[in-house]
Amino acid sequence: MAARSKQAEKTDSLYLVHGNNLVEVNEARLQLLESLLPREERETALAEITPPANQPLNLERFLSEILDELGTTSFIPGSRRVVVIYNLTELMSARRGKARTKATSKKTKGTKKDRMALLVEWLEVELPETGNIAVFVCEEDDLKGRMLREDSPLVQLVHRKGTVITKREKAIQFEFDDHLLNGNAAGALTVFRHWVKRSAGDSGSRLRIYSTIAQAVELLLQARCIQEGRRAGKPVGQLMVTDFPSLEKIPSWKSGKIHQAAQRFSLTTLREMVEDVHKLQRVMYPSGEEDYVPDWEGMAESLVLRITAMRGTPGP
């Protein structure tokens, strides 16, 4: 028992692994488990609490299960129990949740606060006595506004008492968009391939990849039409790709970059790119009646090269 107590003093009982780089978050989680628990003990000494299908993992429904798992003694003498809790709702923020928060009753707010206070107190006072370890894993998504709540009492507790492992990177969609507008073909292709690899099988990510390419082409076309219209003194004409915001409604810092990038191309070239975008859409989302569907990744890469590297001759 003395050796166990000594080991417990050396090892943190609280961990938080979070970030928007989901590949590295998962790798960090696996490395942490390797350091905390031998593989032969995981069948009995490891518990993982994950969100049910299409439902949040919150304290209202799962506080009792979390405390029960953390309070359970390992069946293996001298071994500690490791409990991994995934994407606890109270640790994450969401843009769409702000309006609901304002409408929440004071009674409900108080209940939520009490649950969090109970969990934090238990982790701080009781968890060290059990010798067990709590690992919270939060997978962030910048595009959906799912970010770690740094003001959460639980997050602050882990900062004080435990270990926080952060695996963040610039939102991949914004990085890809930057490379497209800056004409960085190598950078755009590298990010594109990384994005495709890490989001394999995720239809939502595939849609964002398409939307980023399509929006870049559409906004470049809008900018070039404005430039041509001003120079020629004719009304501005546009060929819309989809329901993207107009150039006049996006932030000035970005519209300036788009206007600058649009000068690389002729109006004819950009309209050809719009047709390429439509072809890409048909390949990425086939109707099912086609005899043959080309590789969408190869077609997308060709379009990325056109956007970043091709230098169309500006019209008169």
* Model confidence pLDDT, tens digit, residues 225-269: 888 885 544 444 444 444 556 787 777 888 889 999 999 999 899
Low-confidence winner among 59-73, 80-94, 132-146, 147-161 (lowest mean pLDDT) = 132-146
Low-confidence winner among 19-23, 32-36, 149-153, 229-233 (lowest mean pLDDT) = 229-233
Contact criterion met (CB below 8 Å) for 155 and 99:
no
pLDDT reported for residue 126: 93
Return the closest-CA partner of residue 89 out of 116, 111, 64, 57. 57
Check pLDDT > 50 for residue 3.
no
pLDDT reported for residue 253: 80
Q: Under CATH, to which class is 2-166 assigned?
A: alpha beta
User: Which tokens hold the place of 201?
Assistant: 């099988």
pLDDT reported for residue 236: 45
Tell me whether strands 163-166 and 92-93 are parallel, antiparallel or unpaired.
Answer: unpaired
Higher pLDDT, 5 or 12: 12
In angstroms, rounded to a whole number, what is the distance separating the alpha carbons of residues 163 and 157? 10
Higher pLDDT, 301 or 168: 301
In angstroms, rounded to a whole number, what is the distance separating the alpha carbons of residues 227 and 167? 42
pLDDT band of residue 311 (cuts 50, 70, 90) is: very low
Check pLDDT > 70 for residue 100.
no
pLDDT reported for residue 22: 83
pLDDT reported for residue 6: 38
Q: Under CATH, to which class is 172-309 assigned?
A: mainly alpha
Residue 132 CB partners (closer than 8 Å, separation 6+): 13, 70, 71, 72, 74, 80, 81, 82, 83
Check pLDDT > 50 for residue 104.
no
- The overall average pLDDT reported for the chain is 81
Check pLDDT > 70 for residue 98.
no
pLDDT reported for residue 234: 46
Cα within 13 Å of Cα(280), Cβ side: 24
Contact criterion met (CB below 8 Å) for 304 and 274:
no
Check pLDDT > 90 for residue 213.
yes
pLDDT band of residue 76 (cuts 50, 70, 90) is: low
Low-confidence winner among 41-50, 200-209, 250-259 (lowest mean pLDDT) = 200-209
pLDDT reported for residue 119: 96
User: Which tokens hold the place of 307?
Assistant: 């956007």
Tell me the chain's radius of gyration from C-alpha atoms.
26
Domain limits, CATH 3.40.50.300, in the chain: 2-166
Q: Is the pTM of this model over 0.75?
A: no
Higher pLDDT, 314 or 142: 142
pLDDT band of residue 94 (cuts 50, 70, 90) is: low
Domain limits, CATH 1.20.272, in the chain: 172-309
| Percent of the chain scoring above 90 in pLDDT | 46
pLDDT band of residue 9 (cuts 50, 70, 90) is: very low
Residue 93 CB partners (closer than 8 Å, separation 6+): 145, 146, 147, 148, 149
Averaged pLDDT, 288-310:
84
**If you ran DSSP here, which 8-state letter would residue 91 be given?**
G
pLDDT tens digit sequence for 158-189: 999 999 999 987 778 888 999 999 999 999 99
pLDDT reported for residue 122: 95
pLDDT reported for residue 184: 93
pLDDT reported for residue 143: 59
